[in-house]
Every structure is written in C-alpha cells, then in structure tokens.
Amino acid sequence: MAVKSSGRWLVLAVPYLWLLALFLVPFLIVFKISLSTDAIAQPPYEPVFDLAAGWEAFKESFSALSFDNYSYVLSWDNEFIEAYGSSLWIAGVSTILLLIVGYPIAYGMARAPKSIRPTLLMLVILPFWTSFLIRVYAWIGILSPEGLLNQLLIALGIISPDQPLQILATNTAVYIGIVYSYLPFMILPLYSALEKMDDTLLEAAADLGCPPFAAFWKITWPLSLPGVFAGCLLCFIPAVGEFVIPDLLGGSDTLMIGKVLWTEFSVNRSWTVSSAVAVLLLMVLVIPIVFYQNLQAREVEGR
C-alpha cells in the first residue's frame, strides 16, 4: 500500500517538477530582474544577490528592489500600453481571420472520406517540415512590390506596372503572416472536435425538420465550441507575443509588444524594462488561459 501510494506521488510529482524547473524558476528570475535597476555592469542590472556575502547583504539588496520599471512601462508617456493594445488587437483580428479560414478547412477534412483523412492531416502538418523563419521570409518574396503577387497581377493586367500593391511593411502583411503561420494550430483542434461528432445527430436534426444549414448552427457549431476555444487560444496567445512576423513583414508603424520587448532588450540594452514588459505580458495572457482552463474543466465535467 505504501509503495503504491508513493509511486502515485512520484507520477504526480514529475510534471510539477518540470513546471517548477522550467517555468516557475525562470519566471522568478525574470521577475527579480524586472524589480532591479539598470547598471553598466555584468550582468547589466543591480542589485545582484550574493548568498556568500551573508544575511545582512542579502537584506540590503532586497530592499534595493523597486517597482519603478512597472510604473515606467505603464505610464502613458511611453509607447508600451499602446503596444500592448495594438498586439491584442492584431492577435484578436488574426484569430478571427484564422477561425474564418480554418473552420471550413477543418469541417471539410472531418467530412472527407475516412480513407483520405490521414493524408489531409499530413498536408496540414507538412509546412512544419520547413523552418518557420524561411516560410516567413518566403512571404517577403511574395508580397514585396516586385514580388510574385504583384508580378502576377501585373501580368494579368489587373494593376498597372507603375502602381504595385503596397502590402509588405503594412499591418496587412502581418495579418497574412500570422494567419498563414498559425493555421495548423487552428485547424487541428477544430478538426478533432468536428471529427468525433456523431453524424446521426445531423440525421436526427433533419428527421425532426431541420434543414442542413440550420442544423449546422444548432448542432454542429455548438458541439464544436470546445475546439473553437482551444484553437482560438492556441493562436491568440502566441500571436500576442509574436516578434518574428511583425519584424519581417510589418512596417515601422507596426507596433507589437514582442517587437518592443526585443528593441528594449537588444537595442536599448535594458534588461530590467524588458523583464517588466515580459512579466506584464504574462499577466495579460494569464486571463485567457485561466478562462480556457475553466472551460476545459466544465467540458470534462460534461462528459
């Protein structure tokens, strides 16, 4: 009995140990840096905790911590709040676009003959075989003024050669990049929700007098909501902190928190402010994560 229960504790402990080592400890380090002040030193902030210096020194360095960086980040004079807002907006719009693009694809896959579903699934995952960075770079080749898209439109005579479409370095390019890159993360949870749906439910709806389109909204859509929420959160959360796509495809006026954080860290060399930005970003994202977990708990209960 004792062996059995200690074995169970061990199994339970493993994921928590991972979380502790790979999430909580790094988070605490970042949090501590966010409470420090910049310094021309190695590392570039102070105070630095030195356990060897003894208890008094430790207490002294502890009292040197302050929330100044947070008031700096949260002040309206600086662009941070705007960057948070703009990131949430871009991520939100992208998520809605992803849902609009991804749902019909997932629906089509779930309705496809069983024999070709694995192939379709493979095709959705296939882009992962190429580096993310290369795929985003490829969009520069497509969207730039002399890129493939403009060449095609000019060749077809839709636009004149001296007025190519300005897509690259705009928010439109960022939306395109995010929708393209995150699409599998939207399709896969939607597909799994739609695929396990019982077809006889739709037959039952039809039998009771419900035409197919109405049956979609009354049966299919509500039953796919767990997949919709999962897909939206899987896309929304990383999209808020996205850095590569706005950096490569966006323009100078594309304001996203990931890019701001990068600038703060590598150009301004302020570890402390960038840590504060990161901690606040986490806070912003914890809210939808908690919401999602509640939803999942309810779904599990619903079984």
- Report how far Cα 94 is from the mean position of its chain's Cα atoms: 10
Q: Which of 21, 137, 198, 297 binds other proteins (CB under 8 A)?
A: 198
Burial of 284: CB neighbours in 10 Å, binned 0-12, 13-18, 19+: middle
Based on the shown chain and the rule CB under 8 A, indicate whether residue 201 belongs to the binding site for other proteins: yes
Based on the shown chain and the rule CB under 8 A, indicate whether residue 131 belongs to the binding site for other proteins: no
In whole angstroms, the minimum distance from the beta carbon of 208 to other proteins comes to: 3
Based on the shown chain and the rule CB under 8 A, indicate whether residue 204 belongs to the binding site for other proteins: yes
d(CA 226, CA 223): 7
Applying the rule CB under 8 A, the residues between 219 and 248 that interact with other proteins are 219, 222-223
Q: Toward other proteins, which CB reaches closer, 150 or 220?
A: 220
Using the contact rule CB under 8 A, the part of the chain among 42-50, 166-174, 196-204, 234-242 near other proteins is 196-204
Q: Toward other proteins, which CB reaches closer, 76 or 213?
A: 213
Q: Toward other proteins, which CB reaches closer, 42 or 200?
A: 200
* 3-class DSSP assignment, residue 45: strand
Based on the shown chain and the rule CB under 8 A, indicate whether residue 60 belongs to the binding site for other proteins: no
DSSP, residue by residue, 275-292? HHHHHHHHHHHHHHHHHH
d(CA 233, CA 289): 8
Q: Toward other proteins, which CB reaches closer, 253 or 301?
A: 301
Q: Toward other proteins, which CB reaches closer, 132 or 221?
A: 221
Q: Kindly state the helix (H) or strand (E) to which residue 207 belongs, with its residue range.
A: helix 199-207
Based on the shown chain and the rule CB under 8 A, indicate whether residue 134 belongs to the binding site for other proteins: no
- Dihedral of CA 90/93/96/101: which sign? negative
What are the residues facing 46 on neighbouring strands?
37
Say how many CA atoms lie within 13 Å of 76 toward its Cβ: 0
Tell me which residues touch other proteins (CB under 8 A).
198, 200-201, 203-211, 214, 218-219, 222-223, 302-303
